[in-house]
Amino acid sequence: MMRNFKQILDWARDRGRKRLAVPAPRSRRISQVLEVAEKNGLIIPVSVDVPDQAIAMAANGEVDLLFQGDAGMKEFIDALTAKGAGIAERESLSYVSIFELPSENRLIMLTDTLIQTFPDIRRKVRILENAIGFAGILGIEKPNIAALSTVELVNFHVPSSVDAAVLSKMSERRQLKGLIDGPLDIDCASSRERSRRKGLESPVAGQVDIYLLPDIESSYSIAEVLVFLGRRTLAGSLMGTRIPVVLNPRFESPDSLLLDMALASIRS
């Protein structure tokens, strides 16, 4: 099981260099990331003119990985999910952000931090399926999952609490792999002691591998807080694509993008 970012980088290096298509132009930030990734034995960069060309090369097996580079996020996602592109359908996409928890020597995942805005229960199931698959790649075969809300009990005025309860029951009936509990707030999910203090016995409290966030407003904000106030390095992976794709989220540092490339290499 992968427990830290160093293990991920080492594993990716052991798998050898992957051909990565990156559309022009290249900013200084992107050029530096590509140079470091190449020096670290992760990639062989393949320059193309436009995102459509990179996507076609990936679909034809001419490259192993795709990189957004300096292309706009909307433009790039639209090209990925265009009819006939053969890479992904928009509804299948979600983004998993991971960070290290050094005190416990393990990795924690947040989703969806970038793609789906206000997912309904059907899309939340897909987001979880993507995250569970990602956890499996990291060696976590049956992840503990907290379906987050602002409350710990079902409240019909708080839709995320109802969704969380449904997902928890689906897990109980083995419709989803992994152990899901919810609704939970971040307080209870992150600590068994605090959970018990509130009179809640949760099987995942204090041992969560995947945090399912209710919507993009909460998930994106948490990711940014971790990066800019918590000064944490995040890594991330776009899930739901036929070919591993590296995005360029604005809240991720160059170090994070290097890790993103390592994660994509592992998936290829």
Mean of the pLDDT values across residues 248-254?
Answer: 91
User: What is the structure's pLDDT at 84?
Assistant: 86
Residue appearing with tokens 């976590």: 140
User: Other CB atoms closer than 10 Å to residue 146's CB: what's the count?
Assistant: 28
Mean of the pLDDT values across residues 167-182?
Answer: 95
CATH number at residue 24: 3.40.718.10
Instruction: Report how many domains make up the chain.
Output: 1
* The pLDDT of residue 25 is above 80: no
> What is the DSSP-derived secondary structure letter of residue 103?
G
Within a domain: residue 189? no
Using an 8 Å Cβ cutoff, are 99 and 230 in contact? no
User: What is the structure's pLDDT at 111?
Assistant: 97
Mean of the pLDDT values across residues 181-195?
Answer: 92
Q: In what order do the strands lie in the sheet with 245-246?
A: 43-48, 18-23, 65-67, 245-246
Ordered DSSP codes for 143-198:
-EEEEE-S-SS--TT-HHHHHHHHHHHHHHTTSSSSEEEEEE-HHHHH-HHHHHHT
User: What is the structure's pLDDT at 26?
Assistant: 79
Pairing of strands 18-23, 65-67: parallel
User: What is the structure's pLDDT at 205?
Assistant: 94
Q: Residue 24: which pLDDT band, with cuts at 50, 70 and 90?
A: confident
Element (H, E) at 46: strand 43-48
In this structure, the chain runs to a length of 268
Nearest to 238 by CA among 60, 38, 58: 58
* The pLDDT of residue 244 is above 90: yes
Q: What is the mean pLDDT of the chain?
A: 94
Using an 8 Å Cβ cutoff, are 247 and 101 in contact? no
User: What is the structure's pLDDT at 44?
Assistant: 96
The whole-angstrom distance between residue 26's C-alpha and the CA centroid of its chain comes to 24
Within a domain: residue 47? yes
Mean of the pLDDT values across residues 58-69?
Answer: 94
Residues 110, 255, 58, 83: is their CA dihedral positive or negative?
positive
Using an 8 Å Cβ cutoff, are 232 and 259 in contact? no
Residue appearing with tokens 């979600």: 94
Within a domain: residue 173? no
Cross-strand bridge partners of residue 148? 184
Q: Residue 48: which pLDDT band, with cuts at 50, 70 and 90?
A: very high
Within a domain: residue 201? no
Residues 6+ apart with CB under 8 A from 227: 233, 234, 251, 252, 253
pLDDT digits (tens, 9 = 90+) for 195-232: 898 888 899 999 999 999 999 999 999 999 999 999 99
Using an 8 Å Cβ cutoff, are 96 and 131 in contact? yes
Tokens of 226: 């971790």
Within a domain: residue 80? yes
Within a domain: residue 187? no
Tokens of 171: 């897990």
Within a domain: residue 37? yes
pLDDT digits (tens, 9 = 90+) for 98-152: 999 998 999 999 999 999 999 999 999 999 999 999 999 999 999 999 999 999 9
Q: Residue 249: which pLDDT band, with cuts at 50, 70 and 90?
A: very high
Q: What is the pTM of this model?
A: 0.94
User: What is the structure's pLDDT at 250?
Assistant: 87
Within a domain: residue 127? yes
Mean of the pLDDT values across residues 163-186?
Answer: 95
Range of the domain at 129: 5-143+209-267
User: What is the structure's pLDDT at 76?
Assistant: 92
